[in-house]
Structures are given as C-alpha cells and as structure tokens.
Amino acid sequence: MDGQEFFSDISSTYYRETFGDLKTLSSFGRARRTARVLRTLDRLAKPASVVADIGCGPAQLAAPITAMGHEYIGIDPNPEMYSLTAEKLRSNPQARFSTGSAEEIPLSDASVDAVTCIGVVEYLPDRVRALREVFRILRPKGIAILTFPNLRNPVQLLREAVHPVAAPMLRALIPKLRTTVYVSGIPHAVMFPGKFRREAASVGLTRVDGFADGYYPVSFNHRLLPMERTLSDLCDKIGGALLPGLGNNYYLCVEKR
C-alpha cells in the first residue's frame, strides 16, 4: 500500500479525528500543530495573502485562514480528504480546492504569497522535487511553513531504531494497528532539521525561522485521557525551556528571495 491509498482509506476517520467526536492523542497533537501554524502564518504572511495549503487533508486550516483575511487554496491528491470541508465552505469565495500532489502542484508560477505544507514532506519519495514546486508557485518574498517529524527528538529516534522489527510484528499481531502510520508500512521519513533545511536551500528557499514543539513522550495513538492535555502542556513548557529544538514536531519557515 502506498501513502495515497492509505490516506484515502482512512479519510473518514481522519475527518472525525479533526472535526468530530473521535478525540485521540494524534488528533490532539494535530490540533496543537494547526494552532501553531496559524500563529506563525499570522506573524510571517503579509495581509490578504493567497495561501496554498499543500497536502491539505481535511482542510482544518481553511476556515481559520479565510477568517484571517487571506485567500485559501487547498490541494490534496485525495479529494475524499477535503470533500466535506469543501462542501461546507462552498459559499465562501475566499476558499477553493483542487486535486494535486506536492510534486506537481496545479498552480501557476509565482501565483501565491504563502504555502503551508503540514505533515506532508515525510511521505514524499522526492522531497526536493516538492520543494522546487513550492519555490515555483511562490511570489518573490513569499513564505512557506513546512512541518515534519524531528529525528533529534529522543522518542522519534528510538521509534526509528526499532521500526524495522516492531512494525512488521505489530502488523501481524494487532491487525487494527495497520491503520496507524507507524505500523502501516507506508514510506514515512523522520528527518534532521539541518538536512531538510539544506534541501530547501538547494532550491532557493532561505530559512527565516525554525522551532520545535511536542515533548510529550507517549507516542501511541489512543483515545485522549483526561489528564493528557495537562501533561502535554507541562511537557511542552519544560521541554521547550530545557531542550529547545528537540520536540517531536519541527517547523521550518522559509522565504523565496
């Protein structure tokens, strides 16, 4: 199974985790990441920007971005992922959607002011090709915010070390875990920020900021327990102060100059 087929199969669950009643540790983490991306976009993007959300998934960024006064373009290879949100926003002239991949973005050269690419690059077979596409569609001085799992994080490092043995074993012993990225067997890269920053620089995208969050050490996806929000907040506060740059999620902000 490839990544596109995997996300097509789980699209309804992903939507419920994002907007509905299914609250898991993963959905909580994605919600926090979404909030961080929106704050960063508000800080870096110019007013009334055209924002392309590459690999938009269920398009949780769409309504907040249009509420900020920007135009939103959601792009994903799986239209099942964004169809419900697109239907909800069909009367919003500031939001539109298109089917396409990060390696072949269906937008014209220099047509957007900002790009968000959240939790996408780790699934791509050719990240540099995708970065070239981001560079192509950005206008001069346009910015992009990209996130990915951080290999500097100790938990991620441990998970990567045992993955070749653990994932096949879990697939065989607990079939329902095949709907999780870690066990599914689809390509999933965990990266050092410096390496990805150099890949971005190689296509002309210059770093303007970089930071990490997500210090809660539990990595299994399960229904969110009552105390986990508080524990996660505490871990982020302590981890961010003592171990900056070592969080589970890394955010790279770049500019086309």
- CATH number of the domain that 199 lies in? 3.40.50.150
Instruction: Print the domain residue range for 73.
Output: 3-151+189-256
β-pair partners for 72: 51, 95
Mean pLDDT of the 194-199 span:
98
Residue 212, pLDDT > 90, answer yes
Q: Is residue 159 part of a domain?
A: no
What pLDDT is recorded for position 247?
97
Number of structural domains in the chain: 1
Predicted confidence (pLDDT) per residue in 38-69, tens digit: 999 999 999 999 999 999 999 999 999 999 99
Closest CA to 4 of 228, 186, 203, 251: 186
Residue 150, pLDDT > 80, answer yes
- Who wins on pLDDT, 54 or 159? 54
Q: Is residue 71 part of a domain?
A: yes
Residue 1, pLDDT > 70, answer no
Residue 84, pLDDT > 70, answer yes
Mean pLDDT of the 88-107 span:
97
- Who wins on pLDDT, 227 or 219? 227
Residue 78, pLDDT > 80, answer yes
Residue 181, pLDDT > 90, answer no
Mean pLDDT of the 198-213 span:
98
- Tokens matching residue 74: 């959601």
Q: Is residue 167 part of a domain?
A: no
CA distance 48 to 70: 4
What pLDDT is recorded for position 221?
76
Q: Is residue 172 part of a domain?
A: no
Residue 219, pLDDT > 80, answer no
Predicted confidence (pLDDT) per residue in 242-256, tens digit: 999 999 999 999 999
**CA-CA-CA-CA torsion for 75, 79, 80, 81, nearest 10 degrees?**
0
Cα 184 → chain centroid: 18
Q: Is residue 163 part of a domain?
A: no
Place of tokens 């937008």: 107
- Tokens matching residue 36: 């961080």
What pLDDT is recorded for position 236?
94
Percent of the chain at pLDDT above 90? 75
- Who wins on pLDDT, 66 or 173? 66
Q: Is residue 166 part of a domain?
A: no
What pLDDT is recorded for position 210?
97
